[in-house]
Structure 1
Amino acid sequence: MSLQLVWNNEQTDFPITEELITLLEKILQQAGLSEGVEDGEVDLTFVDNKQIHELNRDYRGIDRPTDVLSFAMNEEHDEELTIIYDMDEHDELGEVPEILGDIVISVPQAKLQSEEFGHSLERELGFLFVHGFLHLLGYDHQDEDSESEMMAKQETVLEQVGLKRQ
């Protein structure tokens, strides 16, 4: 087992190339290594601003588009049910990857931000992806200290895969 990226493209404004997916898979492996996460699945969906606006409004109560959203599967709540697999000796479940969660990225918003920051779209998408991945692991940026910690982790991973700030 290893970290796996499953991706889907629901926007039509910008092509999603195999080179980009390879880069994001490399980022996932590096971020996982940095955080001690060896196994699991991350689902990534590329959307447009309309779709991410709807998600942001419906799930966060914020009525505007954003760049990235993360939906962690490992958040535990007291009311959650435990799934028990009832198998007899003839059943075989096989290895089922732990789903870490979903990351949704607005490609048009990433494009706009890449232009504002003066770097490539690939770097911005990589930044948003590692940012979303860290959220899946429980990191947040609600205060200055946690934001500094998260930013440092993001920049380290991006530098390790060759996406340095310009």
Structure 2
Amino acid sequence: MIKINIESDPKFKKPNDSVIFSLISYVMEQQEISDADLLFIFGDDKLLNHLKKQFFNKDHFTDVIAFRLNDYNQGNIEGEVYISLTRAKNNAKKFNEPYSKEIARLVIHGSLHLLGYEDSSKKDKEEMTKKEDIYLAKVDWSKIYE
């Protein structure tokens, strides 16, 4: 069973839980994962910058941070994904994409990190982006704020 909890900083409009759940579930299904306990937290730059400093010893803004809470060799997935809605909005403007689509991309990106995908090299980043594009084309991200 896939269990997903979604939390959002109250100063932001919360994304639609059912759409976010559908996005995550689709990624997990495509990756043949049927057992997961996940927490997705939508916050701001301050939260993600704090986490980046605390856990990665880096002081810069980032759009998504994923923490796998159990070993990657286990069949089930336990994890947390933090998404900066501030960065999502800035990225959407920068890349001339709808805000909802950028949020969907970050949800997918964080999900892929929980599955073990990395983006530290150019090749890895290209592979992740390709998967994100495939999944974005298959799901209806347009209703994230309906």
Report the TM-score, using the length of structure 1 for normalisation: 0.77
Match of 1:73 among 66, 69, 72: 69
Amino acid at match of 1:123: K
Query: How far did 1:141 drift?
Result: 1.6
| Structure 1 Cα separation of the partners of residues 10 and 60 of structure 2 | 18
Gap regions ≥5 residues in structure 1: 77-97
2:44/2:86 contact within 8 Å kept:
yes
Query: How far did 1:100 drift?
Result: 2.0
Query: How far did 1:63 drift?
Result: 0.5
Deviations 1:83-136 (A, max 9, x none): xxxxxxxxxxxxxxx552000011111111111112221111110111011111
Q: What is the aligned residue count?
A: 140
Partner of 1:4: 3
Identity of aligned residues (%): 25
Partner of 2:139: 161
Deviations 1:49-99 (A, max 9, x none): 1111111111111102211100011236xxxxxxxxxxxxxxxxxxxxx55
The alignment status of 1:41 with 2:41, answered yes or no, reads no
The alignment status of 1:104 with 2:91, answered yes or no, reads no
RMSD: 2.0
Partner of 1:31: 27
Match of 2:48 among 52, 55, 58: 52
Gap regions ≥5 residues in structure 2: none
State the 4+ residue runs in structure 1 displaced beyond 3 angstroms: none
Which structure dedicates a bigger proportion of its chain to helix?
2
